[in-house]
């Protein structure tokens, strides 16, 4: 008979959200045996559902009926001991299922219109002032720096023939108040070519869905062939080796528009440069988090076109923060 804690991880299918929940459970599993089952949830009517569910939950109306009305969900027969999710569209399902099964629940991120007190533990990067609020230094990540580094070394030996240092550029795209034009991607590619020439390095590149196909094409055309060691062009031929590239690189770079990608890069525990480009910029809360990361030494931030003298120094290992967060959550839930 197993003593594993049965956990339902609610998934909205958004990688940045699901990976945060997976990350938290990855580090919790190092301290407590878990039996994790991912449960897909889809909010049926978007904005309308969120408006109605806010009132429904506040008035403690029929939670089973609300769940069936608002979500496409097929949850397991055996009840959970704990419910975990990230991303606003899972917040209501998280609460409704908690009330259905009367078990602890953990939510990562903004709870939309919901009060944080309805979660047993509400994890955020900025304090909310709530009694159940756990302020994170980093968002959870299922990246284990030691495993990623080993996979990266193996891949580099098998794939890359050059002995030059490798820099990895992780490209996000439109998001967090940042908008990219074709010219912005061209500008980034030209800058990367210049850095490759000045520092005698080669680039690993990984684009994403948000880069857009036109942005990806512009970046690809602007990077000199001699500057490129390997590229994952998401809109041409996606490959699931992003973490491997982070482990293979001597220094990682990431555009400033994706907090989830920035957290993943920090968790790889390699020197990190956050590159600021495009039009617009993040809001105050997002910027405050970036400032905190910089102050803690997780990264340096530079503008596209800026000079780069070399590889920045590395900070305190991210795994220390991930372990501490998992321990804090287990303690708050009175789970040992």
Q: CA neighbours within 13 Å on the CB side: how many for 66?
A: 25
Q: Using the CB atoms, write b or e for 280-303: b if 16+ within 10 Å.
A: eebeeebeebbeebeeeebbeebe
Q: How confident is the model at residue 219 (pLDDT cuts 50, 70, 90)?
A: very high
Q: Determine the Cα–Cα distance for residues 53 and 71; give it in Å rounded to an integer.
A: 11
- Tell me, what's the pLDDT at 254? 98
1, pLDDT greater than 50: no
Which whole number is the average pLDDT over 84-90? 91
Q: Determine the Cα–Cα distance for residues 269 and 203; give it in Å rounded to an integer.
A: 18
Q: Determine the Cα–Cα distance for residues 84 and 90; give it in Å rounded to an integer.
A: 9
Specify the higher pLDDT residue, 198 or 2: 198
Which whole number is the average pLDDT over 225-248? 97
169, pLDDT greater than 60: yes
Q: CA neighbours within 13 Å on the CB side: how many for 321?
A: 25
For the chain, helix (H) and strand (E) counts, in that order, are 11, 15
Query: With 0-12 CB in 10 A as exposed, 13-18 as middle and 19+ as buried, what is 97?
Result: buried
First-to-final CA distance of the chain = 18
Domains and CATH numbers, the chain: 5-135 (3.40.50), 145-318 (3.40.50.2000)
């Amino acid at each position: 008979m197993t003593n594993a804690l049965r956990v339902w991880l609610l998934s909205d299918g958004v990688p940045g959200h699901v990976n945060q929940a997976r990350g938290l459970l990855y580090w919790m599993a190092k301290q407590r045996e878990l039996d994790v089952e991912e449960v897909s949830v889809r909010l049926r009517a978007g904005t309308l559902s969120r408006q109605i569910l806010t009132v429904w939950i506040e008035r403690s109306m029929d939670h089973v009926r609300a769940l069936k009305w608002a979500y496409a969900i097929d949850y397991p027969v055996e009840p959970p001991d704990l419910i975990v999710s990230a991303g606003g569209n899972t917040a209501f399902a998280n609460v409704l299922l908690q009330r259905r099964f009367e078990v602890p629940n953990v939510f990562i991120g903004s709870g939309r219109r919901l009060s944080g007190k309805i979660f047993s533990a509400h994890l955020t990067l900025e304090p909310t002032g709530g009694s159940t609020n756990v302020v994170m230094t980093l968002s959870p990540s299922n990246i284990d720096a030691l495993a990623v580094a080993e996979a990266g070394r193996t891949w580099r030996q098998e794939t890359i023939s050059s002995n030059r240092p490798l820099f990895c550029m992780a490209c996000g795209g439109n998001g967090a108040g940042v908008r990219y034009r074709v010219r912005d991607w061209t500008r980034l590619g030209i800058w990367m070519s210049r850095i490759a020439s000045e520092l005698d390095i080669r680039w690993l590149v990984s684009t994403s869905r948000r880069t857009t196909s036109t942005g990806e094409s512009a970046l690809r055309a602007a990077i000199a062939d001699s500057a490129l060691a390997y590229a994952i062009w998401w809109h041409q031929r996606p490959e699931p080796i992003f973490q491997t590239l982070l482990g293979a690189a001597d220094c990682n770079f990431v555009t400033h528009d994706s907090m989830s990608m920035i957290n993943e890069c920090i968790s790889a525990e390699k020197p990190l440069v956050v590159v600021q480009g495009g039009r617009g910029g993040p809001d105050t809360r997002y910027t405050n988090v970036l400032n905190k990361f910089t102050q803690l030494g997780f990264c340096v931030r530079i503008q596209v076109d800026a000079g780069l003298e070399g590889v920045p120094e590395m900070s305190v290992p991210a795994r220390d923060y991930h372990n501490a967060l998992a321990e804090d959550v287990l303690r708050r839930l009175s789970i040992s």
